[in-house]
Structure 1
Amino acid sequence: MDGRLLLHVSKSRLWQVRDHIDTDRGGLVLCGDGAVSKAMELRKEEFTAPLLVDPEVYTSHVATEEAPFPRTEDEGFSFGDPQFDDPLRVSLNRQRAAGVTAPITPTGYIQAEDSAALLTATRQVEALDDPSVIFAAPVDVGWLQDDDSVRQLIGALNLIRGPKALMLGGQMDPLGRFPQAVSNLRRVLASVPGAALMRTDLAVFGALAHGASFGSFGTTGSLRHIVPPGQPVQSTRGVVAAPHVLFPELMGFFLGSKIAKAFAAADGPPCNCRVCDGEGLDRFTSMHGEHQRRAAAHNVATMGTWLHMLMGAAHGFDRQMRWHELCRTAVEHYPILNASIDQKGTFKPDAQLKRWAVLVPDVVPLGSSVPAGQRTS
């Protein structure tokens, strides 16, 4: 799955993106109710792209030292048989039976600074001695707040020889919470071989640029980060009456209704992705099924263009520089666009995007033995 961008999607939303998966560089991560049975169904339909199932235990259960892979209600009865009494093995076996490319561990949410839970989880996975297992590391973004936490995270993840998938927890935009979160994420990716970033937003491109083995992008806002178990979902929006649309020049998601309102007195911004083919982004104005499907297809097509552009650059400094330039150009375009529609401050860049834009890649001195992209600031 190296270099692939998978779509993280619930079974109920699969219809929006099923026909737009890039089989050369993409794939699927199914989650939510019925994900395992849907994966099995897709394999029977000869779906050949990479296919994963995310158990999502971290959305409802916290990992502890005693139970890093918490028992859930749908695991059935063990009848005293140890083979069916281990939540970790039960989940992995169910996923394998469905035909997944690789099984993902049913890890609970790892709270900030809970090194005991993290270490127990990594040791149990390494004890499986199975390099095909993807260790899900659903960590609170607090792990990226300071040097000590980052070192602990790196050390624990490096106990596992197989693939490791970071998933970040926190309200709204986790990577926008701390000024150093983005640079510390880059540090983790550079220091942990086989690390990936899953269930995220556009940060997945930054991760791929900085050495992530693969990544998954959440097709809805709720799948672009983890809300810690037990916390109510925080949102700056009220009732969502239109789909979220990726504005390519701004590298940001905005409600289709917001775009339409902003451009009410001007021509809507055209999009040249293969789905829009020159049509305006101001046309996604309702939650009608077709609007949702077309908006999702546009989002996937736009990200596919970025992925090919990014992965077409040489690994290391060139790829990181290309990502940096994309972000910097997008941030600089915000005031220009607002001025063009005479609406100052209508569109605002996310804090995370601004941090990627100022994070200039390191230049490795000539003759250095350290590969480009592996040095951290």
Structure 2
Amino acid sequence: MSNRILRRPIPPSLRPVPGIGESFFAHAPSTRVRTIAQLCAAESVGAVYTMPGGKSGEAQLERVLATHREIAGGAATALADANRYSGANRLPASAPLSLQWLQRQWDAGASWAVTDSGYLDRGADEDLASLFANADDLARKATGRFFLAVPADNHWVTTRAPDLRTVVERHGIPVIYLFGSTGDPLASKKAVEGLLYLLDSAVPSALMRTDQAAIGALTGNAVFGAMGTSTSLRHIYPPRNGGGFGTSPFPSAFLPQGISFHRTDTLGRAIALSPDELHWICFCERCGGLRLDSVIDATHAFTHSLLSLTDLVRHVLGGDRNCSRSSWGALCRNAQFTHIDIESTTGIKWSYPSFLGAWGAVTR
């Protein structure tokens, strides 16, 4: 019997909404639509596509969503990210929202549209008020369903979560949160607690442009969690000096037992020092029990990482919210020990990501 037959579908969201059947999403550039759509077809995963700016993005929208449905199926969910909240020319959250952008998404077959919101910086309360006032205006004119994107500095999740949730509930418009920081915006216990508080609202909410927190969000009432397929799509870089994303000739690959990404050259060096450790073995459908030093190119790393993550989602979801959250917390705590063991057996400094401790503490 093949491994494919034994694989069960990814469980649905604990907080489903009409028109979205998937819980776990891949957030990718629109240029990867064919690769992502194939994954979505095989794994029942949704997709968020970040579009290029300006007229180019508008022109490509219909083609990208049509290509996705052609490969993944007519019922597959694909959302569009206008990405006006990032980069040197980002717009503030007070910028007007485009009804035409929403209509283009509906006309292209999207079950839900996503607003072209600008970035909400810390302390920008007036911009927050403008964002939701503009969303109210859209809601009065809209002919279909839409999410209000809320791209925000992580101060809004670590410190201002009660204020943000109050505004969300006052307006009642479904939201998608995206957070920005010079590092991981959801790496602290305070940030995780704030995120879970936001997601526990009666107003449907989701999380995108994030890292492994997409899985944690699914244990906390998120409609869906969308994890970036590259470092630049796993959080927003805020409009201040410092931080940013470097480049490397080596692709990164997911270490399942560590719930973490590492460059393939780093993995290869560590595996050579402790080749018999079981945490180097991957049982995703692409690897089939091979060691992670078999991942030698970007295509293999990409496919392996996404398939391993969908296996992780299957493991976490399937019970009620308390069971799912306990499962996720236990996996994060076990992953910390995996990192400690790697450092001990290889002698290489191998610090575990801070988010593991944050989720492990909150979900005890």
TM-score norm. by structure 1 comes to 0.81
Q: Could you tell me which of 2, 21, 31 is aligned with 1:12? A: 31
Identity %: 24
Where 1:111 maps in the other structure, the secondary structure is coil
* Letter of the 1:256 counterpart: T
Q: 1:64 to 1:271 in 2, by over 3 A?
A: closer
User: 1:41 offset after TM fit, Å?
Assistant: 3.7
How does 1:1-377 map onto structure 2 within 5 Å? Answer: 1=20, 4-21=23-40, 25-33=44-52, 34=57, 35-36=60-61, 37-43=63-69, 47-48=73-74, 49-59=76-86, 60-65=89-94, 67=95, 69=96, 87-127=97-137, 128-129=139-140, 130=142, 132-146=145-159, 149-176=160-187, 178-229=188-239, 231=241, 233-235=243-245, 239-267=247-275, 269-285=280-296, 291-314=297-320, 316-340=321-345, 342-345=346-349, 347-361=350-364
Q: Deviations over 1:133-182 (max 9, x none)?
A: 11101011011232xx2221001111343421000111231122x55111
**2 CA distance for matches of 1:360 and 1:45?**
37
Do the aligned partners of residues 278 and 46 (structure 1) sit closer, same or farther apart at CA in structure 2, a change above 3 Å counting? closer
Q: Which amino acid aligns with 2:68?
A: L
Shift of 1:88: 1.4
Question: Residues 152 and 180 of structure 2 are in contact (CA less than 8 Å); yes or no, is this contact kept in structure 1?
Answer: yes
1:24 to partner: Cα distance: 6.3
For the residue of structure 1 that corresponds to 2:182, the secondary structure is coil
Higher-Rg structure is: 1
The Cα of 1:42 is off from its aligned counterpart by: 3.3
Deviation at 1:101, TM superposition (A): 2.2
Change beyond 3 A, Cα 1:231–1:58: farther
Note closer, same or farther for the CA distance 1:213–1:96 as it changes in structure 2 (3 Å cut): same
Which one has the bigger helix percentage? 2
The amino acid that maps onto 2:64 is K
Q: Measure, in 1, the Cα distance between the counterparts of 2:38 and 2:255.
A: 21
Contact 2:180 2:238 (C-alpha < 8 Å) held by counterparts? yes
Matched to 2:85, the amino acid is: Y
List alignment gaps of at least 5 residues for structure 1. Answer: 70-86, 286-290, 362-377
TM-score (norm 2): 0.83
> How far apart, in 2, do the equivalents of 1:121 and 1:167 lie?
14
Q: Please state how far the C-alpha of 1:213 moved relative to its aligned partner.
A: 1.2
Structure 1 position 332, deviation (Å)? 1.7
1:104-143 superposed Cα distances (whole Å, 9 cap, x missing partner) = 0000001112122112222322331457111101011011
